[in-house]
Every structure is written in structure tokens, then in C-alpha cells.
Amino acid sequence: NAGVTQTPKFRILKIGQSMTLQCTQDMNHNYMYWYRQDPGMGLKLIYYSVGAGITDKGEVPNGYNVSRSTTEDFPLRLELAAPSQTSVYFCASSPVRPEAFFGQGTRLTVV
């Protein structure tokens, strides 16, 4: 059972470039989340989804977009990368209870 899988694990972007962080889960969870983790900080919620076709903003959504066309996939899009988006990004999923299961993370550097 793979759980939550994120790709890529590492990426370096130039300012202004765009990219999509992929996230897929095989646990049939309705809820999926994207968090970012800055050094020495806790996780901040970017976007979340309660099911296919339904997404909503979290605490720090600016500069990001998401879509949820299937239960399994929840990609995160960065349209115009900025240095402030340098961070480690975690995707997570959960069943009805808020016991989120996390992926291994994507370490993104914007230069």
C-alpha cells in the first residue's frame, strides 16, 4: 500500500517559472491537503479538498492553485514562482476523522 505519493522530491525553479507538484493517494480518502513547511516552522495549510471537484483555500493560498478531478489526485500549481515560495511542500490525505497521512514532501527552491 503506497499511501500518499508526491513527485518530484526535489525541484529548483527560476523566478517566474511555473510547475505542478503532483500528489496521489491510494487509500480512497475524501479529504486531501497541501501544506508548506518553512525552516523551523510548523505546517501551514495552502489548499484543501473535501472530495473530487471541491476545493477551498487554506491559510496561505496566494500564488497557488489546485484542482481535484479524481479522488486519488490533488495537484498543486505554482504559476509564477517567487523566492518566497521556497519551502518544503507536503500533501496529505485523511478519512472522515482528521488523522492526516502525509507524503514524503517536495523540496522546492526558487532562485
Q: Which residues 44-83 are close enough to bind other proteins by CB under 8 A?
A: 44-45, 48, 50-51, 54, 56, 58-59
Retrieve residue 53's grid coordinates: 471537484
The least CB distance from residue 86 to other proteins, in Å, is 17
Sign of the alpha-carbon dihedral angle for 13, 11, 91, 66: positive
14/97 with CB nearer other proteins: 97
Instruction: Name residue 77's amino acid.
Output: R
Neighbouring C-beta atoms of residue 63, cutoff 10 Å: 14
Residue 15 touching other proteins (CB under 8 A) = no
35 and 99 in contact (C-beta within 8 Å)? no
Binding site for other proteins (CB under 8 A): 4, 31, 33, 35, 40-45, 48, 50-51, 54, 56, 58-59, 90, 92, 96-105
